[in-house]
């Protein structure tokens, strides 16, 4: 299982009702195709070897005998394959008939899982033909196809790669589905054999149900339902095949197709395990079901092969897909920022804020948050003091944008040059002003922060921090300089998202002058502007030339922090996500930089100012990320060094 991925598939075969031999041949063909594509676990629809819609034919001994013969035929003809297959078969158990999922591998039955919840629908009255799994003793074993096999709704199938469980159709619609218990007892993927009938609006409800169940269980969920070929005497089956991972749809079939379908994807079990480790509610659920019965069955897994993801890897995981969803997400994030700042202002009874405005993205977003907050609180925008502090590296473009934006938004505008103060400071400490080193740069950053803090004291205001999540991760901030404020509104927003937030504000109701300025700010290269401009007055010091592209660092940060992935897996995912954009050597270089800087700069994150959390990733030392400032990066850097670019 490379990088924790398990390749799964849901099959929607062609079916002929009550023709077990034909149905077995279809199953064999699809098992072979799936195995050839590297699928490790394949699930079929409910009762696929007979057809779900046989009705009272399920009471015919000939059909039941032929179903057993069909099962034996499938096992014999696929015994050379490593794939695990889950088939739908009616099985006689202890004198009653049960609607079962039979799990097979290499010609052997690993276990039989009967359906627990039998529907009482007018068109399919399953209780007429089948008994519930609840009627069985926990240790039931039967003889089928010449093999002894356990029969229970409490089976867990374990391999070195993954632990999975099985439920059938109506089970997932129950108040407490069997899959909930199976997940709490260790199942990382749940497979559902279904015969889902179609009617108006049901499909969207089904998708919502499966998404929620996979999310609640922190599990993968693979759903296969009957399709073309089932009886349409009273209902129609659309052939739904759906694969979810923790609430996210990975793959889906074409509905109402007349052809057989094999829907495949890879479920990231390592990611699910990481989610469960940090989710204390899941751990509490595990404790609650520790005494429930469960039988564990050992399975093998196919040998590892070269991993080729069929699921997409989003290069910008912090940024939702465009259009309406992006607008909704931006509005929600902006509202969280505004609500956080509003509470702090109300609590402190403060009606003045001070913001350093550089003409860059971060300070622009912070200013926009202040404006919206003051508007919602009914305060005058003149209580927002925007201070632009030109220094040795300030360009005309950023300087003019800073002034233009403050003026068009109607805030109080102040300009305080830091040049004379820095020259005097360099003289005081004996630093040559022509040496553009870290002292030269940080001296300017700290001078700006001192001005902001002191002016805030003068007017009884709060200094609003502008630094973002990406800068905090890389430590791209001057300690006790731009690193510090009285309340930081951008602290959990990555750089890639800052750009979209500013663009969203530009297109959602600001005046024409502000919009034009915002759009130019978005197009301006990211820079701290601490080094003098070039001979043409353009920005010389570009951040992404020094620390690497922010879209890469935000990608690294997301998977490192959100799921705890190791460098080799992050490198693999980045190589897929940014194929054709960055080569392997480039990704390796900046991933190494990320790991080194992330560890070395933790001391800056250990003393961050307050600020609102807006997403699932945050570096607040008070709740989201607690790490020793002197932790070693050796393990991560060694793995980076060994990457084959």
Which residues carry out catalysis?
A: 46, 115, 169
Residue carrying structure tokens 């039967």: 142
Are 358 and 402 within 8 A, CB to CB?
A: yes
Rounded Cα distance between 158 and 83, Å, is 14
Rounded Cα distance between 300 and 298, Å, is 7
Distance of CA 435 to the CA centre of its chain: 45
Residue 94, token pair as written in the block: 């202890």
Select from 153, 201, 196, 202 the least CA-distant residue to 177: 153
**DSSP notation for 479-510:** TTTTT--SEESSTT--HHHHHHHHHHHHTTT-
**What are the beta bridge partners of residue 190?**
165, 221
Helix (H, G, I), strand (E, B) or coil at 144: strand
The Cβ-side half-sphere exposure at 309, using a 13 Å CA radius, reads 19
- Other C-beta atoms closer than 10 Å to the C-beta of 355 total 29
**What are the beta bridge partners of residue 505?**
none
Rounded Cα distance between 189 and 183, Å, is 8
Rounded Cα distance between 168 and 171, Å, is 6
Element (H, E) at 67: helix 61-77
**What are the beta bridge partners of residue 412?**
385
Rounded Cα distance between 446 and 448, Å, is 5
Residue carrying structure tokens 């954009």: 581
Helix and strand numbers, DSSP H then E, in the chain:
20, 20
């Amino acid at each position: 299982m490379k990088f924790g991925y398990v390749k799964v598939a849901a099959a929607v075969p062609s079916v002929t009702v009550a023709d077990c031999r034909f149905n077995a041949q279809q199953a064999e063909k699809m098992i072979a195709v799936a195995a050839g594509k590297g699928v490790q676990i394949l699930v079929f629809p409910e009762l696929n070897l007979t057809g779900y819609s046989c009705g009272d034919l399920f009471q015919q001994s000939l059909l039941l005998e032929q179903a057993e013969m069909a099962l034996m035929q499938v096992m014999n003809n696929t015994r050379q394959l490593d794939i695990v297959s889950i088939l739908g078969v009616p099985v006689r158990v202890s004198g009653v008939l049960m609607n079962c999922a039979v799990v097979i591998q290499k010609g052997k039955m690993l276990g039989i899982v009967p359906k627990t919840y039998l529907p009482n629908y007018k068109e399919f009255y399953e209780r007429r033909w089948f008994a519930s799994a609840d009627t069985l003793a926990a240790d039931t074993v039967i003889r089928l196809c010449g093999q002894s096999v356990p029969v229970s709704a409490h089976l867990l199938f374990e391999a070195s790669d993954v632990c999975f469980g099985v439920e059938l159709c109506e089970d997932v619609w129950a108040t407490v589905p069997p899959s909930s218990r199976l997940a709490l007892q260790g199942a990382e993927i749940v497979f559902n054999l279904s015969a889902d009938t179609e009617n108006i609006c049901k499909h969207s409800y089904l998708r919502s149900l499966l998404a929620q169940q996979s999310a609640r269980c922190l599990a993968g969920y693979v759903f296969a339902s009957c399709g073309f070929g089932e009886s349409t005497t009273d209902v129609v089956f659309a052939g739904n095949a759906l694969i979810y991972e923790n609430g996210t749809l990975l793959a889906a079939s074409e509905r109402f197709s007349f052809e057989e379908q094999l829907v495949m994807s890879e479920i990231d079990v390592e990611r699910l395990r990481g989610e469960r480790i940090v989710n204390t509610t899941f751990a509490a659920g595990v404790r609650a079901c520790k005494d429930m019965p469960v039988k564990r069955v050992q399975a093998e897994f196919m040998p590892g092969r070269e991993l080729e993801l069929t699921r997409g890897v989003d290069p910008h995981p912090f940024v939702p897909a465009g259009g309406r969803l992006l607008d909704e997400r931006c509005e929600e994030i902006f509202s969280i920022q505004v609500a956080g700042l509003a509470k702090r202002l109300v609590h402190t009874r403060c009606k003045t804020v001070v913001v350093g405005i550089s003409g860059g993205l971060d300070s622009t977003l912070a200013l926009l948050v202040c404006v919206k907050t003051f508007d919602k609180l009914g305060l005058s925008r003149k209580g927002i003091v925007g201070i632009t502090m030109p220094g040795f590296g300030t360009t005309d473009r950023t300087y003019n944008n800073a002034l233009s934006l403050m003026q068009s938004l109607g805030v109080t505008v102040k300009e305080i040059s830091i040049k004379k103060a820095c020259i005097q400071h360099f003289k005081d400490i004996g630093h040559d002003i022509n040496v553009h080193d870290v002292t030269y740069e940080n001296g300017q950053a700290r001078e700006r922060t001192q001005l902001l803090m002191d002016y805030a004291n003068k007017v009884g205001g709060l200094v609003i921090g502008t630094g973002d999540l990406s800068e905090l991760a890389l430590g791209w901030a001057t300690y006790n300089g731009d690193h510090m404020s009285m309340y930081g509104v951008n602290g959990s927003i990555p750089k890639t998202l800052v750009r979209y937030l500013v663009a969203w504000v530009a297109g959602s109701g600001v005046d024409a002058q502000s919009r034009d300025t915002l759009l130019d700010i978005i197009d301006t290269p990211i820079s701290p502007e601490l080094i003098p401009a070039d001979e043409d007055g353009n920005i010389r010091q570009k951040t992404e030339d020094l620390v690497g592209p922010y879209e890469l660092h935000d990608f690294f940060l997301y998977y490192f922090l959100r799921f705890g992935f190791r460098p080799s897996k992050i490198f693999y995912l980045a190589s897929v996500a940014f194929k054709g954009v960055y080569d392997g050597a480039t990704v390796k270089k900046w991933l190494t930089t990320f790991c080194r800087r992330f560890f070395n700069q933790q001391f800056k994150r250990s003393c961050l100012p307050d600020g609102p959390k807006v997403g699932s990733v945050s570096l607040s030392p008070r709740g989201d990320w607690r790490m020793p400032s002197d932790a070693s990066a050796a393990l991560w850097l060694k793995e980076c060094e060994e990457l084959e670019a």
